[in-house]
Amino acid sequence: QVQLVESGGGLVQPGGSLRLSCAASGFTFSSYVMSWVRQAPGKGLEWVSDINSDGLSTYYADSVKGRFTVSRDNAKNTLYLQMNSLRPEDTAVYYCATKRGRAKYTIGLCTADFASWGQGTQVTVSS
């Protein structure tokens, strides 16, 4: 069965960096658009980034553009999110997900657009 396992979260000071990983198994990872989605405390799900199946096209929410970089290693079945210049407002649980349809800039997340989800990894940005 499809399995997505995130790792790499933790506590970091404002201005710091983290790299999240998402290990995929149970499906043909290289054929799927992948996404990162986050949920801040007390808030709804927020789309963060998409990457297409070959990794050549990437899309970002305005709130993270220029600070976060999504990438993938299809040989290792792993998705990454490099997060730099972290801010307190980036505090959230971060999820990786397989996306239905094409990779794109997304406004107004719809959970039906995502087929499978990981369990999430907590990122806390605080001094």
Tens of pLDDT, residue by residue over 94-105, are 999 999 988 888
Q: Which amino acid is at 83?
A: M
Q: Are 55 and 71 in contact (CB under 8 A)?
A: yes
How many C-beta neighbours within 10 Å does residue 54 have?
10
**Is pLDDT of 46 > 90?**
yes
Instruction: Give the tokens for residue 40.
Output: 């801040």
For range 48-63, the mean pLDDT: 97
Alpha helices in the chain (DSSP H): none
DSSP letter string, 77-120: TEEEEEE-S--GGG-EEEEEEEESS-----SS--GGGEEEE---
